[in-house]
Amino acid sequence: MRWMVAIGGLAAVMGAVWALSPAPSATGGTGRDQSRLVVTGSSTVAPLLGEIAKHYEVHMSAARVDVQTGGSARGITDVRQGLADIGMVSRTLKDNESDLHAYPIARDGIGLIVHADNPLSDIRTAQVQAIYTGAVTHWRELGGLDQPTTVVHKAEGRSTLELFLAHFGLHNTDVRPHMVIGDNAQGIKAVAGNRAAIGYVSIGAAEYAIEQGTPIKLLSLDGKPANSGRVRAGDYPLTRTLTLVTSAPAAGVARRFIDYLLSEQARDVVVGQYFAPLAP
């Protein structure tokens, strides 16, 4: 019998959360002295922003940057409602989001991950479709483990979900998951803890986890290796632009923070988080 597990809660994000201060403005920081910048949204972008914030606070500004996850949908909603100065979105904006101002910051790929013990190294589009719709339910059908597949899927409101479905030509109602997770960290943890699991996450997040010794691996997709080098070279089929959004043209501390993120000073941090920097 198939079962469903919803993993709740938000993963902890790098950086501290500071004491309460006045509500954020749309284009600057919080409070009249612009001493705090509130950034919410994509769990793919959040670790990068958290790391950039550390460097920014030390070298560039006394302003505090509060980074919170919750998914791209939260980032857009919070900016529109004035709850955040900047929203993090792990895709380009849609036509119905033209009221927002977009600042592309890097590129990332979405990769299929399995446990490190799974002998499979490459997966084809038709195989992904078959696994996620329940047409294939056992790894031996694909030359993998002698175990039934455990399908790990993303929750609604996540850009990674939208892009995954669009790329593989699926509707969310087509998918037959065993586990529904929120952010990349939860997806990586779910696959690392289950030898029969398969999931899809940010390539940058997966490469970072692998470097830390997490027992997962990225599968090549249709013969194309899933790694940040391939994303930078434009030679991987499932990529997306990581974007920051504001409700009005960024000004004040928000503008300075975005400019710093796009500068040569921050480039090494972007690469260090396994993302592909955009040209200045």
pLDDT per position as a tens digit, 161-218: 999 999 999 999 999 999 999 889 999 999 999 999 999 999 999 999 999 999 999 9
Supply the DSSP symbol for 75: H
**With the C-alpha atoms ordered 128, 132, 136, 142, is the resulting torsion angle positive or negative?**
positive
List domains and CATH numbers for the chain.
36-107+241-277 (3.40.190.10), 109-233 (3.40.190.10)
What token pair was written down for 79?
């900016």
Q: How many whole angstroms separate alpha carbon 50 and alpha carbon 40?
A: 11
Q: Look up the pTM and report it.
A: 0.78
Question: How many other CB atoms are found less than 10 A from the CB of residue 235?
Answer: 12
pLDDT per position as a tens digit, 125-158: 999 999 999 999 999 999 889 999 999 999 988 8
**With the C-alpha atoms ordered 145, 199, 137, 195, is the resulting torsion angle positive or negative?**
positive
